[in-house]
Chains A and B, each alone.
Chain A
Amino acid sequence: MSTPFLSVRDLTVDFHTEDGVVHAVDGLSFDVEKGTTLGIVGESGSGKSVTNLAVLGLHNPETAKISGEIRLDGEELIGASRSTMERLRGNKVAMIFQDPLTSLSPYHTIGRQIGEVFRRHTGASRAASRDRAIEMLTRVGIPQPKVRVDDYPHQFSGGMRQRAMIAMALVCDPDLLIADEPTTALDVTVQAQILDLLRDLQEQTGTAIIMITHDLGVVAGTAHEVLVMYAGRAVERGTVREVLREPRHPYTWGLLTSMPRLSAPVDVPLLPVRGTPPSLVNVPPGCPFHPRCDYTDLAGPELCRSERPELSPHRGHGDACYLTLAQKREIVR
């Protein structure tokens, strides 16, 4: 097996704040292969966005302490020079954000914002960049791209702005696209359009995608592999089918039973996870989920409270929990 395109090993991100050290990401490992989509699922504060900003090297080095390994196509990104990272961003790795209105500059035209990425990384002329911007707008399905290229973001609708963001991210044919909650701010019919677009573009270009979302539905429709995060750690990993059909971690169960589903019978009660997520300054020792878990008695309360469970097995469908597979099967049933 060849080395994965993106390989993250033992990534730890700490922020030093006045309230103490925030352990935003703690010992996270995952891989992304070319042409595939990894869905990273978690609630707010689970560390999913922090992880991906670390991949792009976008954290303020004065407040964030990052350790571990991030290898992109064999190249180590942690500790890489500023100019190396600047050359990489927007070129080899691109990112789209949640809110396209605030993420696009209100002071520059759409065409300019797309074109300048191209210019920056290819050294193309102004005219060529503009043509490229029009080409990209056409590809993401903006009507009348030759006219709209000179519009400002506020003249676009929400869905069109996100299309423009995607055009901007893909203008240099990146090998990896990180999409941070790309449809959370959009209406459901527009969300469907954008997810379709991302899927189509991936088929055309073979880009690897990391799809960060809190919505398991979005993951189900777009991702090949899933990583479930809780309190800065990976609690479960596997293919979409594995994780959604045979979830193994109690937190994943909680996520799935918390969501009302259109395909389920109407009167299935929601079974939420009790309590609230922990503060990242004071992450519980042992399994970070143990204070909210209903199965610590079964798995061994001492163990859950004192020792951190590792994601196992190392390949394939793995989870970080002391319950045995037999116990899990019993509970799910």
Chain B
Amino acid sequence: MKETGTGSAAGKAAEPLLELSGLEKHFPVTGGFVFKRQVGRVHAVDGIDLTVHAGETLGLVGESGCGKSTTGRLVARLLEPTGGAIRYGGRDITHASRRELKPIRSEIQMIFQDPYSSLNPRHTVGGIIRGPMEVNGIDPPGGRDRRVRELLEIVGLNPEHYNRFPHEFSGGQRQRIGVARALALNPRLIVADEPVSALDVSIQAQVVNLLQALQRELGIAFLFIAHDLAVVRHFSQRVAVMYLGKIVEVADRDSLYRRPRHPYTHALLSAVPEVEADPAAASTAGPRERIRLAGDVPSPIDPPSGCRFRTRCWKAQEKCASEEPPLVRLEGNREGHLTACHFPEAPTVHGDDVVLDPALA
């Protein structure tokens, strides 16, 4: 299965490890007179289809409030979906009970953003990493302690640190502890929710490299959730872009980053500040095509009708308000490149390759 890590084409034939169909999570908004009643719903995740194949990384990007973290929590079954289905390894686990989930819990693990608050400060590092084994009653050959020391070594920490407490470690080291805990049960899928965004640049690269090495060596699949488009591109084979609870575009990374068809994807990419030193760019408009979206993301309590991006989209027409664009393969898209847009961006040709933004060439 490790070979599937390099592309989605090979994984297509096999059954996906994780399959989300029409997945939905609405949070109730309460209010009212005398008695509390539901007055609205936050459409955090509003009907999304995604697949993750064994050993591959699917990147999930989007701005705050787009529902990417909620999606991660749904997959890890930390939240109960309000609609749609989650299939894992061919089994429907959408509403699986605690007992039914037990064998799966160890296979799906989560890494969180904040390495400070996601580790219990009163437990030793050894205790934190042993925890999942104890809860799930797993006895690795050679004993739990040995396995913990082994895991510490795998994530690049000193096994001697077994009896230390989280506060004795730096941010990057704490994130390594979080990774070791996730690895304790030999997971097949890791949901990584902004695993490096709280870390300094130099440390961020260390953790990204660690996760990549783990994926190569252990064949773990990742659902990699982040807002940093460059990190996602670096880490993921396929990338999905979310906006207000919907997937607006999904494709393998080359296709998505070089030929974005959804205006939102395009705007996101053009907004990333790039380390291309050009004094001209500092004073006047640089050579890169720049798209500046106006305003902010609308409220997920009352999302716009039709296409949700239309309120900020420069191409929006009447059709966009009345009809929700389906997520489909557009003409000119590669296999597996799906876009939900009525008026997609036309890719320009740049040399042999189709490139939208000259600066990306």
Contacts and interface: CB of A to CB of B under 8 A. Distances in A.
B269 A243 contact: no
Interface stretch (B86-94, B273-281, B340-348): B273-281
A8 B44 CA distance: 49
A189 B281 contact: no
Interface in B230-255: 230-231, 233-235, 253-254
B119 to A, nearest CB: 17
A164 to B, nearest CB: 13
B202 to A, nearest CB: 4
Nearest to B299: A157
A37 interface: yes
B289 interface: no
Given A240-B282, A241-B279, A245-B277, A188 B230 contact: no
A46 B233 CA distance: 28
Question: Could you say which of A218, A261, A262, A269 has the most chain B C-beta atoms within 10 Å of its C-beta?
Answer: A262
Interface string A176-202: 000000000001111111011001000
Nearest to A190: B296
Contact of B253 (A196, A254, A266): A266
Nearest to A160: B296
Contacts of B296: 157-160, 190
Given A262-B233, A262-B360, A276-B173, A222 B272 contact: no
Interface residues of B, number: 50
B201 A255 contact: yes
B359 A215 contact: no
Interface in B180-218: 200-206, 208-209
A220 interface: yes
B170 interface: yes
A125 interface: no
A74 interface: no
B349 interface: no
Contacts of A285: none
A274 B209 CA distance: 12
7 contacts: A158-B64, A188-B272, A191-B273, A258-B205, A261-B274, A262-B230, A266-B233
* Top 7 closest pairs, chain A to chain B, by CB: A217-B273, A272-B205, A244-B277, A260-B234, A258-B205, A192-B271, A43-B200
